[in-house]
Structure 1
Amino acid sequence: MWGMIKLTHEYDVTVRFNIEASDLPKDRILVGNTDSVIAITVRAKGLDYYSRILSAQLKPLYFNLKDLKLKRSGDRYTGYLRTSRNTRVILDQLPSGIEILSIEPDTLHFIFEKGFSKKIAIRPDVSLRFSRQYNLYDSIAVNPDSVLVSGRKEILDTLRFISTEYKSYTGLDKDLTEKLRLINPGFYPPVEFSVDSAEIKLSVEKFTETQVEVPVELISDSPPGSTYKTFPEKLTITCLVAMKDYNRLDPSLFTVVANTEALKESSDRRIPVKVIAAPLFIKVIKIEPDKVEYLIIK
């Protein structure tokens, strides 16, 4: 009985709150505030204090600075806010039945700089493992492929890309679409994004390994009118191709060359071969042989 009476008594209690800005003046970024904590003395019944005030002080109090009047000082801008004139703003964020007796400090000071914006590419941070014979058919599509990042110029100049959250996928055997959260790089003051997530699309197909025989073209500084012959005359290219593209594969889509200039920098009399043209829908695994000999026939 005594405990219940005690909890219904009125108490004057001082609680501390971290403060945060919910909106900023246009084209300005907050780089500092001399007062990041305010102490508020409130009057409440004991039951209200223990059950609600204690939990409320774990959350920050937000102040809208959008219409704050600023004074320029060099490259910076300063502004202040009277807490005594924002009692209603504070009360709206506290539990009901609370009476504010005092607020310290009476004035909150804020420091701003001019904000800059820059469009930066989004890079998906993903790990992909496919089912047997399946693979990525095309590069990962990201939508949007970039994000408008706002913040201090010296911070923006260091950013080359913005990563998504890390995600690991296993056993992939079909197309996949998923939205991933963008990761703020963690600078102070923090940068802001025009969007907070990006959608990735994976195009997955079943692949098969196949071989194509392709003739070798010789690039030589031999006298005009000379004819030549390579040994062997054709090479075997082993490649991966999606099943849906298998019938499109043709030797005429490949160009393989051997340049005799390479002999000037090597004691080996065989010439390395190079694939200079191939279909975009295949992946070359190996070339056999990877070197050829040649004979000039006059």
Structure 2
Amino acid sequence: MAWTLFAISNTYVYTVSAGVQYVNVPDNRAFHPLQSDTVNIQLEAAGWQLLVARLKPAVQSIQVDLSGLERRHWIVFTNQLGFINRQFPSNQRVVSVSPDTLYFDFSKQTERKVPVKALYKLDFRRQYNIIDNIRISPEYVTITGPLEDVVQIEQWETDTIRVSDVSSDIRAAAPLKQNQRANINVYPTSVNVEIPVGEVTEKILEVPIKVENAKQFNSVKLFPGKVRLTVMVSLRDFVKVTNNTFEAVVNMEDWIDNGVNSLPVIITQMPDFCRLVKVEPQNVDFFVRK
């Protein structure tokens, strides 16, 4: 026991991995880090703190001051140890960071507009659901940054909208997801989201099946020749949903190329305001006359 108390009271140096967050980014300069956004930090702490760190490792992140990039293209951690130590408890001391130098490549600032995608997790009251397209205002946001980073961004997501017992339209101001890259700016930082909600019901339809890529045959007979579709539709759009608003096909190339015994039914057309619940049958038999 005495040896254990002596051991955990001693001071040790150990290494942890940490992510990098950039702060004080220079204005009007687009930069691209030339190394990983993870560094190794050597911490000096008492033995009991080392024991706790080993038993319950925590994901660390440190802030790095980029104000020095106004004059050069690199940042040296040795010059920022005081700033970094202020981010840790007083009973821990940052000895060094590896790599000690971060390098950056600067390029001309590029601007691009990308669509916004609304994320949501809704718990609907029974017989209620989304009945139309979600409306977002503005639909696009402007992102600026280095060309090589901007071109990789196809859309920007919102924070997840969470609502329970939903039975009416939802209107919310949704913040955009926090930017994970310090060299990318986005404007605006929030959008208005409107989710149309209404009462829905099931509707069952029988749709004839069309045959594609069958010109080399005299005839193709399907068994059965129709497919039974079960869809969810809002009460307001119930009468709009007819057999003619759907299209079901089978592709003979599935048999020609792959020799399948039955053809899968593919729904190639349906209204946006419907949700497909069931397709019966999912595969059909066929008879070919060459």
Aligned partners of 1:187 and 1:171: how far apart in 2?
Answer: 36
Name the SS of the counterpart of 1:174 in structure 2: coil
1:134 is aligned to 2:125: no
Structure with the greater alpha carbon radius of gyration: 1
* Contact 2:116/2:136 (8 A) holds in 1: yes
Aligned partners of 1:30 and 1:227: how far apart in 2?
Answer: 63
- Which residue of structure 2 aligns with residue 28 of structure 1? 28
Aligned partners of 2:287 and 2:156: how far apart in 1?
Answer: 55
* Structure 1 residues without counterparts, runs of 5 or longer: 1-19, 32-71, 76-111
What is the RMSD computed on CA atoms of the aligned residues? Answer: 3.6
- Which residue of structure 2 aligns with residue 102 of structure 1? none
Aligned length: 198
Name the SS of the counterpart of 2:265 in structure 1: strand
Aligned partners of 1:276 and 1:251: how far apart in 2?
Answer: 13
Name the SS of the counterpart of 1:28 in structure 2: coil
2:287 aligned to which of 260, 285, 295 = 295
Aligned partners of 2:161 and 2:271: how far apart in 1?
Answer: 31
Distance 1:154 1:253, change over 3 A: closer
1:213 aligned to which of 183, 187, 206 = 206
Q: Quick one: which amino acid aligns to residue 174 of structure 2?
A: L
Q: TM-score, normalised by structure 2?
A: 0.56
1:199 is aligned to 2:201: no
Aligned partners of 1:152 and 1:297: how far apart in 2?
Answer: 60
Aligned partners of 2:215 and 2:281: how far apart in 1?
Answer: 23
How big is the shift at 1:176? 1.1
- Which residue of structure 1 aligns with residue 272 of structure 2? 280
Aligned partners of 2:108 and 2:261: how far apart in 1?
Answer: 65
What do the CA deviations read for 1:240-268 (whole angstroms, capped 9, x no partner)?
Answer: 11111111122122222223332234454
Moved more, 152-161 or 193-202: 152-161
Q: TM-score, normalised by structure 1?
A: 0.54
Moved more, 158-167 or 236-245: 158-167
* Contact 2:254/2:260 (8 A) holds in 1: no
Aligned partners of 2:174 and 2:158: how far apart in 1?
Answer: 6
1:231 aligned to which of 211, 219, 223 = 223
How big is the shift at 1:231? 1.8
2:250 aligned to which of 251, 258, 276 = 258
Aligned partners of 2:127 and 2:211: how far apart in 1?
Answer: 35
Aligned partners of 2:107 and 2:216: how far apart in 1?
Answer: 68
Q: Quick one: which amino acid aligns to residue 133 of structure 1?
A: Q
* Contact 1:155/1:187 (8 A) holds in 2: no
Aligned partners of 2:220 and 2:243: how far apart in 1?
Answer: 21
* Contact 1:121/1:145 (8 A) holds in 2: yes
Aligned partners of 2:229 and 2:198: how far apart in 1?
Answer: 21
Q: Quick one: which amino acid aligns to residue 225 of structure 2?
A: E
- Which residue of structure 1 aligns with residue 112 of structure 2? 118
* Contact 1:148/1:193 (8 A) holds in 2: yes
Distance 1:134 1:187, change over 3 A: same
